[in-house]
């Protein structure tokens, strides 16, 4: 690979971009970047300029000759890129507020990547990732696409399995958080443990072994409900049943709480909803404060407040993944990649989240072996839901949407589910061109979100 790497970050106006810059700066000796292009859209122009100027200050303070370009022209940026990272949110945080509040207004779980809201995030995002891949095919056909746009597993599956772009790896910060936080609960450090993950994005399990190869999973299960035991900050820490986990013998990720303890999680979300403190609304406040900090011309390093944003370590994982590819490291990471037999109960070409060796050839998944019935059953249902969601997003077929809704464990059956579905369509009209005819008919029939906060956003054109 040539010296002088060109990196393009789509969604460059993200509040996470300073972490991405920090990751590249600390790896500069092994990752000789020449130019970084931060790309955004017109609606994100102000944020792009704020965070872009902050990024320039970071590189200047580091003393490295890296050019940082800011642009709203994606095609200009992609020309001859070596690596493309994707960290965008279609509809901005206003769309996330709708994804959470509309289901909750009917007493149904509303969450960014799970349930009805998660599926609609995929419906909005998949057409955009297709446009990006089409541009890459023309302008940078040898580039690697490193995705951490959510829902990361479905986006990565669309890119690799549906669009045929094989040079793609998807990332998630949830495994990183576990690896960083869990060891202390049993009095050790992550460098003395060996982690093995398998599942799909936001629905994986892991096992852990010590330096002698002795499994310590059961020890960690005893501490899974500890206050700082590895649960991401954006997930309410309902208590897992230790009896259940001791029998399964595997550690679930934090997002399993939405499925294992659905009623308790829903109760907490409803409390937040009634106080106008949904996660989306809280994150919007955090992000607004971050961008005020980023405007400070004296700020040259990532502020610690960024960790409150919920996606900490995403960007650093992206930098490490890029370095592992560029330097052919064969480094162990947890990534979204093709299954290739690693989890026998899923198709070989489907995308899984799994421990893998990352090298110049991409991700080589490590075999997990057979899942026990409890995990196998959950995993197959959730993967089928993902497949239905992707098909609906690409086809714009209403029946495919109903398939996805019908199989999702967090979507209740009945009239309310259809009301949630239809209100989400109307609320996200601007970003769902593949469903334009359907949405037109729903509006003609008088469908409109009942939640006042969502109504206010729509009245403001957001």
- Cβ-proximal residues to 195 (8 Å cutoff; 6+ apart), any chain: 175, 178, 179, 206, 207, 208, 334, 355
Bridge partners (DSSP) listed for residue 354: 335
Only one residue has tokens 């320039």, namely 56
Residue 321 vs residues 204, 312, 384: alpha-carbon distances, Å: 20, 16, 28
Task: Provide long-range contacts, Cβ within 8 A and 24+ apart, for 28-31.
Answer: 28/62, 28/64, 28/66, 30/323, 30/326, 30/327, 31/5, 31/319, 31/322, 31/323, 31/326, 31/327
Rounded CA gap, 149 and 130, in Å?
A: 13
What are the structure tokens assigned to 184, written together?
């202390």
Closest to 39 in 3D by CA, of 92, 87, 95: 87
Catalytic residue among 16, 94, 255, 258: 255
* Burial environment of residue 396 by CB neighbours within 10 A (0 to 12, 13 to 18, 19 or more): middle
CA 205 – CA 188 distance, rounded (Å): 21
Does residue 255 have an active-site annotation?
yes
SS3 148: coil
d(CA 461, CA 350): 38
Kindly provide the residue ranges of all beta strands, DSSP E only, lying in 212-360, ordered along the sequence: 251-252, 331-338, 351-359
Residue 446 dihedral angles phi and psi, to the nearest 5°: 90, 15
Q: Which residues contact 259 (CB under 8 A, 6 or more apart)?
A: 203, 378, 409, 410
Give the C-alpha separation, 52 to 38, whole Å: 7
Count of other CB atoms within 10 angstroms of residue 182: 26
Inter-CA distances, 211 with 130, 187, 214, 333, Å: 43, 14, 7, 18
Q: How many CA atoms lie within 13 A of 350 on its CB side?
A: 23
d(CA 365, CA 293): 40
Could you please report the per-residue DSSP string of 68-126? EEEES-HHHHHTT-SEEEE---TTHHHHHHHHHHHHHTTTS-B-SSSHHHHHHHHHHHH
> Which residues are catalytically annotated?
255
């Amino acid at each position: 690979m040539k010296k002088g790497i060109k990196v393009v970050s789509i969604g460059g106006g993200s509040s996470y971009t300073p972490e991405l810059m920090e990751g590249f700066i600390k790896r500069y000796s092994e990752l000789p970047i020449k130019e970084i292009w931060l790309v955004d859209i017109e609606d994100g122009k102000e944020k792009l300029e704020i965070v872009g100027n902050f990024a320039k200050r970071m590189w200047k303070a580091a003393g490295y000759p890296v050019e940082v370009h800011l642009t709203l022209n994606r095609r200009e940026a992609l020309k001859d890129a070596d690596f493309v990272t994707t960290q965008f949110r279609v509809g901005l945080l206003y769309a996330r507020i709708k994804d959470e509040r509309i289901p909750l207004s009917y007493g149904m779980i509303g969450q960014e990547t799970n349930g009805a809201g998660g599926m609609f995030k995929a419906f909005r995002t998949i057409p955009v990732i297709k446009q990006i891949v089409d541009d890459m095919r023309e302008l940078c056909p040898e580039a690697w696409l490193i995705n951490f746009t959510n829902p990361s597993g479905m986006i990565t599956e669309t890119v690799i399995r549906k669009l045929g772009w094989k040079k793609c790896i998807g990332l998630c910060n949830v495994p990183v958080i576990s690896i960083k936080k869990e060891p202390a609960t049993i009095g050790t450090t992550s460098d003395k443990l060996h982690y093995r993950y398998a599942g799909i994005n936001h629905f994986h399990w892991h096992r852990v072994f010590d330096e002698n190869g002795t499994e310590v999973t059961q020890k960690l299960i005893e501490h899974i409900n500890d206050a700082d035991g590895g649960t991401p900050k954006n997930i309410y820490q309902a208590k897992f049943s230790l009896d259940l986990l001791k029998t399964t013998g595997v550690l679930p990720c934090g997002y399993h709480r939405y499925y294992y303890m659905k009623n308790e999680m829903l109760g907490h979300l409803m409390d937040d909803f009634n106080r106008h403190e949904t996660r989306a609304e809280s994150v919007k406040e955090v992000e607004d404060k971050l961008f005020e900090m980023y405007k400070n011309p004296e700020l040259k390093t990532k502020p610690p407040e960024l960790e409150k944003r919920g996606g900490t370590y995403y960007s650093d994982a992206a930098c490490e993944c890029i370095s592992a590819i560029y330097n052919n490291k064969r480094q162990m990471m947890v990534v979204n990649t093709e299954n290739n037999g690693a989890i026998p109960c899923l198709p070989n070409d489907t995308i899984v989240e799994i421990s893998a060796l990352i090298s110049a050839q991409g991700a080589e998944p490590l075999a997990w072996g057979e899942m026990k019935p409890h995990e196998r059953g959950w995993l197959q249902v959730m993967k089928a839901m993902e497949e239905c969601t992707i098909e609906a997003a690409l086809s714009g077929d209403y029946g495919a949407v109903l398939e996805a809704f019908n199989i999702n464990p967090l979507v209740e059956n009945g009239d309310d589910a259809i009301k949630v579905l239809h209100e989400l369509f109307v609320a996200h009209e601007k970003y769902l061109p593949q469903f334009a005819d359907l949405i037109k008919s729903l509006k003609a029939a008088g469908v409109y979100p009942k939640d006042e906060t969502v109504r206010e956003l729509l009245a403001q054109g957001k």
